[in-house]
Amino acid sequence: MQETDDILTLRIQIASMGSLSKEQISALQSLDIFTVADLIKHLPYRYETHRSCRSIDEAKSQFNENTATPDIVSIEGVVAEIKPSHRYSKTRKVEITLEDDSDALTLNWFNQPWIAKKFHPDDRIRVMGKLSMHKDTIQMNNPKWEPVDDNEVTTSSDDGELRPVYPSSDGISSSQIATLIQSVLTEALSEIEDHFSEDELKRLEMPTLSHAYELCHSPKHEDEVSRGRRRIAFDELFLLQLGVMLKRHQRRETLASPALRWDDEVRERIAARIHFELTEDQVKVIEEIATDVTSTIPMNRLLQGDVGSGKTVVALHAMLMAVTSQAQAALMAPTELLAEQHFKTVRALLEGSSVKLALLTSSISSKEREQLKNEISSGEVDIVIGTHALLTSDIEFNNIAIVITDEQHRFGVHQRATLRNKGGDSSIVPHTLVMTATPIPRTLSLTQFGDLEISTIKSLPPGRTPVKTKHVYPEDAQKVYSFAKEQIAKGHQCYVVVPLVEDTNTGLKSAVEHSDDLKNRYFQDESIEVVHGRMKSEERESVMERFRQGDIDVLIATTVIEVGVDVPNATLIIIEHADRFGLAQLHQLRGRVGRGVDAGVCALIASPQTEDASKRLQAIVQTTDGFLIAEKDLEIRGPGELFGAKQSGIAPFKVADVVKDAALLQFARTLAKDMINDEPTLASHELLMKRLIKTYGTSLGLGDVA
Ligand code: ADP
Ligand code: MG
């Protein structure tokens, strides 16, 4: 919601509200409530039904034992009997019998022995609480109560009143929040402006924003809550869709990329260099990319394909589309190790061709680096491979036409790299392709990734056997290592992954310690080496090279090997403390084996300590399908976390749930698309535009239109 300047209530700082104590103010602030507007946006997470009953008999007859959220009932009666607690009873139960003309009700208080003294026989009291069943009798435990004046008229029964329950914190209770909200609600609601016209709302079949908040804070029925909630959830979904669609529109209108060449001749020239046949899916995604890059509309495509599905060769095709068009291409990898490996793969595939390839790593001398920079900016180099950091620093290209980012398992798609041309026109940008081995669940691909075109490789190259995955408890680790010895005896190699480089009082072994340990215990005759992230890259590279050559039998590694290491002779991966790894990470790690003709095995050593860790292990054992794993990950972690909010700077939705509100999301998406198509400036929706810029201007980079 947004507020106009001359109207005040919504803008009032809660810190300036006289009715609140210091503790309450800081408690509210810990709930992210600073202004009245924040307070109004603070929605109940559930509702309780409060019902007053005319008689005990009526209350009992309405009681339903099987409901999950029993009503809170209030009843009047006379205290008939008081049973104080026994001194030695564990629960210190005080039992009181409440009576009226119709019936009697047992009230119990636990661990409050002093309460017995507060009552006297024949007191008229009103009690409030939930009824429950105990040994076939209906009773009420720990009720709230108040004395009733004899002259007071007994209130009549009602159908039940819905009372909101708010997220609260230590210094302020839900009912205090409720009272506070009620005290400002009417005035605040009258100030909320809608960004949709009455006509539009009628067409959408939605209440006004103001009414929606009223329905959430003061509903009369459950269906009012869902009507109000639906409008607010819709707005959240719609605003992001609108931002994404606007971004897409802006990019297509204001930016252009070089149109590249792609025809049979190029196709065949590449085919001649590859010793295998492309899978159907590889061919399909290459054509999808080609369709994009042969036009001047900048490509913005995500290529998702499971570990080992063959994305690198697709990237090669995309890069060569640029090279045959006399332009440059860049491939960015998340780690140096992976950049080096991509470089080797691509170099092997291009051997003997005139394509000039360069690898940019942190280990080259500054003189070499200077020379490389010059070759890149003069256009001498056709393809540059490096890490994200190295490539984006101060490198200028002569004519960069396509940038490929190998994200592997990361969701940070939004921090798109900006590679530029020397002295170039900033409206000319390269086509971009992001590759990921962790597919984005469908719901997410429709939200903040909604401006990406998506290409998918579903099938693996022929002849692969799925990796067998087993969960093993630490007690049985011995069996796993014996199996490793057998594999090595057959000429195979094995990875052992450990979570940390150094022991930081966690009781976890460091990679180095672990290696000594394993050597002494199991691998006296085998050759065993360590790689980890703190090693110098030449050192690491030399170990990796020897592993690739088959000179090392067992490679102990931290997660540096997670990304893309390709040694087909390695058939076993043992992951120690597997419960400490994320699902996507485990899946990546597992992808290091089963890359050749021999079947791969993945052993997860862990005794999971949390339910989530157990679920992760179960999921990874049960399926090898990266798409299912991504969906499972979303399920276990919840959309809030996986939403990638941290990386993208986009706050997760407060009300909408991308999974449960899938239909609403689709609806919002269609509407947003139509709206931007009809009127990209949103000229007739000034307030909507203002709210859009306020919410997503920075994170989506929409600021320039405001
Ligand atoms: P990822 O998608 O994980 O990056 P890679 O591109 O590293 O996968 O490919 C994995 C392995 O599969 C590589 O050794 C690659 O040469 C091989 N490969 C890729 N495509 C095919 C294919 N169509 N037929 C056979 N092998 C292939
Ligand atoms: Mg790869």
Domains contained in the chain, CATH given:
47-165 (2.40.50.140), 264-294+310-436 (3.40.50.300), 468-623 (3.40.50.300)
- Quote the CA–CA distance of 682 and 70 in Å, as a whole number: 48
Which pLDDT belongs to residue 156?
57
Rounded distance from Cα 508 to ligand 2 centre (Å): 29
Distance CA 309, CA 311 (A): 6
Dihedrals phi, psi of 299, to nearest 5 degrees: -70, 140
Q: What stretches of 166-321 adopt beta strand conformation (E)?
A: 300-305
Structure confidence at residue 644 (pLDDT): 45
Residue with CA closest to ligand 1 atom 16: 310
Residue with tokens 């691998």: 523
* CA 473/CA 670 separation, integer angstroms: 50
The Å distance, Cα 496 to ligand 2 centre, comes to 20
> Which residue is it, tokens 């049985």?
476
pLDDT, one tens digit per residue, over 516-535 is 888 899 999 999 998 887 78
- CA dist., res. 585 & res. 408, Å (int): 10
Surrounding ion ligand 2 within 5 Å at CB are 564
Give the DSSP letter of residue 279. Answer: P
Q: Quote the crossing angle between the two packed helices 611-622 and 583-590, to the nearest 10°.
A: 30
3-state secondary structure of 416: coil
Ranges of the chain with pLDDT below 70: 1-7, 150-159, 391-393, 408-418, 442-449, 500-509, 559-564, 638-652, 703-706
Q: Distance between CA 399 and CA 485 in Å, rounded? A: 52
Tell whether the torsion through CA atoms of 641, 643, 649 and 653 is positive or negative.
Answer: negative
Q: Coil, strand, or helix at residue 431?
A: strand
Rounded to a whole number of angstroms, the distance between the first and last alpha carbons of the chain is: 18
Dihedral sign for Cα atoms in the order 516, 518, 522, 528: negative
As a whole number of angstroms, the longest Cα–Cα distance in the chain is 104
Using DSSP bridges, classify how beta strands 554-557 and 570-576 pair: parallel, antiparallel or unpaired.
unpaired
CA-proximal residue: ligand 1, atom 27 (nearest): 461
| 311 Cα–ligand 2 center, Å | 6
CA distance readout (Å), 578 to 269, 363, 473, 482, 573: 45, 32, 10, 19, 11
Name the token pair of 539: 């050192």
| Residue position matching structure tokens 């394509």 | 355
- Between the CA of 287 and the centroid of ligand 2 the distance, in Å, is 19
The pTM assigned to this predicted structure is: 0.68
> Looking at residue 447, what is its pLDDT?
67
Residue identified by tokens 């057998």 is 486
HEC secondary structure over 32-85? CCCEHHHHHHCCCCEEEEEEECCCHHHHHHCCCCCCCCCCEEEEEEEEEEEECC
333-386 per-position pLDDT tens digit: 887 878 888 998 999 999 889 999 999 988 788 899 899 999 999 999 999 999
Pocket, ligand 1, Cβ cutoff 6 A: 276-279, 282, 305, 307-313, 437, 461, 564, 566, 595
CA dihedral 192, 194, 198, 199 (to 10 degrees): -170
